[in-house]
Amino acid sequence: MNALISNKQKFTFVFLFVLVIDIFVKLYCPIFPFRYISKAPVILLLIVFYLTHQEEDNKRNFWWMFLGLSVFFLGDMLIISHENVVCLGLSLLLFTLGKLFFSFRFSNKNDFRVSRLIPFSIVIFLYTLAIVSYVYDYLNAFFLPVIISYFISLLMFQLTYLRKGSVNDASYKFVFYGVICFFISEGVMVIKTFRGDVPFQDTIIMFFYGLAMLLIVKGVILEKKQKYPSVHVLNLKD
């Protein structure tokens, strides 16, 4: 197992294999105890992989990433029983914290051009607005938690986008595409939970969520700060 974790290419195949097993168990096996057995290794593998390969030059970055993965793991365990209101609420809280920790990890101190961020922000805001509007009448007591959670999602996506030019291209693309996959999974999960069934919902949610976490972790591991990052000047007149 250590050899598989140490080899980045082999790890990808191992992780995807474990993810496919978890999807199969979700679709065809009883929740207890099989789901808890198949679900746990998904994020645990990524935590071990990150701890093995991370070369963070900032301890805070390490802890933000580690804490993010850890609370996502706890949220994964609770969301298995999403029909229980308490478990659903706690999992939503943990996923929100996980996204917040990831947001801290993706942030950087470089200036940026406001005009560059506005079009991107409009697109993801409209997507979020469409999802929330679709489930609005069914949120009830979860309205505020869902709004807060999606606000953190928007923040995470914007900070991911702003990494461009501050880190190497490979790291940027891995994390950016990972966050896109996360948005897809999260959107389908919200619709399924509060509005109604979506075709192939469980497969879509689990596959894109697992792929998102894999891409994000690999992107962070590959990260190298640009020695002379692109200049993104903050200019409110643009």
Does the pLDDT at position 174 exceed 70? Answer: yes
Q: Which 3 state secondary structure label does DSSP give 206?
A: helix
What's the rounded mean pLDDT across residues 93-107? 97
Question: Domain for residue 146, yes or no?
Answer: yes
* 237 inside domain: no
Which is higher by pLDDT, 187 or 238?
187
Separation between Cα atoms, residue 44 and residue 49, nearest integer Å:
9
The pLDDT of residue 223 is above 60 = yes
pLDDT at 185 over 90: yes
Span 113-134, average pLDDT: 89
Q: Is 1 part of a structural domain of the chain?
A: no
pLDDT mean over 42-66: 95
pLDDT for 186 beyond 90 = yes
Q: Are 38 and 68 in contact (CB under 8 A)?
A: no
Report the pLDDT value the prediction gives residue 8, as an integer from 0 to 100: 84
First to last CA, the chain: 53
Our count of domains for the chain comes to 1
Residue 125 lies in a domain: yes
Asked if residue 229 is part of any domain, the answer here is no
6 neighbors 52 (Cβ within 8 angstroms): yes
Find the domain containing 192 and state its range: 59-222
The pLDDT score that the predictor gives to residue 215 is: 98
pTM (2 decimals)?
A: 0.92
What per-residue confidence (pLDDT) applies to 233? 41
pLDDT confidence bin for 184, thresholds 50/70/90: very high
- Write the burial class of residue 148 (CB in 10 Å: 0-12 exposed, 13-18 middle, 19+ buried): middle
> Does the residue 195 lie in any domain?
yes
Task: Measure the CA–CA gap between 121 and 127, rounded to whole angstroms.
Answer: 10
Tell me whether residue 181 is in a domain: yes
- pLDDT tops 90 at residue 191: yes
Q: Could you report the per-residue pLDDT of 200-220, keeping only the tens digit for each?
A: 999 999 999 999 999 999 999
The predicted pLDDT at position 165 comes to: 87
Q: Tell me what pLDDT residue 112 has.
A: 64
| 238 falls within a domain | no
pLDDT higher than 50, residue 231:
no
What does the mean pLDDT of the chain come to?
91
Query: Is the pLDDT reported for residue 229 higher than 80?
Result: no
